[in-house]
Structure 1
Amino acid sequence: MELLIANKNYSSWSLRPWLVMRHFGLPFEERQVWLGQDDTAEQIAAVSPSGRVPCLVDGTSRVWDSLAIVETLAERFPQHPLWPRDADARAWARAVSAEMHSGFTALRQAMPMNVHATGFAGRVVPEEVRADIARIEALLAECLAASGGPFLFGDFSIADAMYAPVALRFETYRPTLSATTQAYVQRLLALPALQQWVEDARVEGHRLARYDVLP
């Protein structure tokens, strides 16, 4: 399998399937395309039917959406608990993942993922972004209380991978968070696979000013 991704510093959607595959030890090669280059769109379109990353290529099969990719992986590798084994927990985990997949637009726009950025802590957080953070915190707290942790549904799963970019955003922008959220963020950041992603992101030489200099 080959996974097409963009800059590890910026591409939250690339991170999600990459983290699942690396955490569970699934065999794959990564292929990276730098954003903001003259030929970026051409390179991506040559692989991904949507013209976006990530895209999973496996023989003649191509899957070009983060959630679709991890669902495909869960089907192909049932020996790994990518989703919770319990049916009720699995349904809940899917709903939690889909909410992240389709929501929290204000947070995404105001706090784009930027792993190696500094100096953003203490910035004024707009009301709509505070609302997104409050919803995320309530969701995390409910899942952790029901499962007992350490991750949303006990062991690490796709649901946690869907929220990993949020953990990186919180680490960069440092909004005020509850103790429960802060502890969960630190557990995600301590994952060896996520630490590898962060290490790779910090040594990338391709920068995008529109993310590094915020209004």
Structure 2
Amino acid sequence: MTGAKLTISSKNYSSWSLRGWLLCRMAGLDFTEERVDIDDPDTRQELLLLSPSVLVPRLTHGGVTVWDTLAIAEYLAEIAPEAGLLPKDQGVRAHCRAISGEIHSGFYNLRSALPMNLKARHDRFKIFSGARPDVERIKTIWSECLKTYGGPYLFGDLTMADAMYAPVCTRFRTYAVDLAPEQQAYCETIFEWPLMQEWTEGALAEPDEIIELEVEF
């Protein structure tokens, strides 16, 4: 699959860009990266023309343009079924879609309280009370999946769910969130994933002056 372009923003701060990039790489898509600065007025106008939601990532592939991360995941699963973005079993596939949709549309308090920042590390960080239920819900999702499907990834093998939850792993590391052994092991598996290491290298190489974008949280 060639001729694709993925529009992303900061590799250090943009959790949605990370998800879209991981999904494209998992699908074996041959794509070029286009970086944007959403704070730039000219870029904003361009994005308004190409993407009504003014959000990244945005995948352009042939005559198709998709700018929602979950829609990108479903599109890639359709054009590259051999990549295994979704489990083969129908029931397991439904479960994978359910938890992927949950992180896609929910956990607003967690996004606000623990923004992605791959360069930062906090030995201690007090999570405000509104975000704690989000943290506990994610821990429950991970533990249930790992117990049910045996790990090392959420559904045994890599799926779209791991791309969707990879930024959460980085948040938990950045803000020193206390995890059960199986949850910590899952995070370590994600950190050791070669694609995740490649993205992290790019994030660490970014200038420190990049402004954090609320739209990405």
- The reply to whether TM is greater than 0.5 is yes
Letter in 1 for 2:136: A
Hey, what does 1:121 align to over in structure 2?
A: 123
Matched position secondary structure for 2:7? strand
Check the 8 A contact 2:28/2:83 in 1, yes or no: no
% identical aligned pairs: 45
Q: Which of 132, 148, 156 is the matching residue for 1:146? A: 148
Letter in 2 for 1:47: L
Hey, what does 2:19 align to over in structure 1?
A: 16
Hey, what does 1:69 align to over in structure 2?
A: 72
Hey, what does 1:53 align to over in structure 2?
A: 56
Check the 8 A contact 1:189/1:195 in 2, yes or no: yes
Letter in 2 for 1:204: E
Structure 1 residue 101 and structure 2 residue 94: aligned?
Answer: no
How many residues align? The count is: 210
Letter in 2 for 1:44: L
Distance 1:46 1:205 in 2: 28
Matched position secondary structure for 1:166? helix
**Shift of the alpha carbon at 1:156?**
0.6
| 1:66-105 superposed Cα distances (whole Å, 9 cap, x missing partner) | 0001100000111221101111110000000000011111
**Shift of the alpha carbon at 1:38?**
4.1
Letter in 1 for 2:94: A
Distance 1:43 1:115 in 2: 28
Structure 1 gap ranges (5+): none
Structure 1 residue 6 and structure 2 residue 6: aligned?
Answer: no
Matched position secondary structure for 1:39? helix
**Shift of the alpha carbon at 1:14?**
1.0
Distance 2:35 2:208 in 1: 12
**Shift of the alpha carbon at 1:164?**
0.5
**What is the Cα-based RMSD across aligned positions, in Å?**
1.6
Distance 2:52 2:39 in 1: 19
Check the 8 A contact 1:3/1:30 in 2, yes or no: yes
- State TM-score, norm by structure 2: 0.91
Hey, what does 1:161 align to over in structure 2?
A: 163
Check the 8 A contact 1:34/1:206 in 2, yes or no: no
Q: Which of 91, 115, 122 is the matching residue for 2:94? A: 91
Q: CA 1:166/1:140 → structure 2, altered by over 3 Å: closer, same or farther?
A: same
Check the 8 A contact 1:8/1:14 in 2, yes or no: yes
Check the 8 A contact 1:33/1:40 in 2, yes or no: yes
Letter in 2 for 1:98: G
Hey, what does 2:196 align to over in structure 1?
A: 194
Matched position secondary structure for 1:52? coil
Check the 8 A contact 1:141/1:181 in 2, yes or no: yes
Matched position secondary structure for 1:160? helix
Structure 2 gap ranges (5+): none
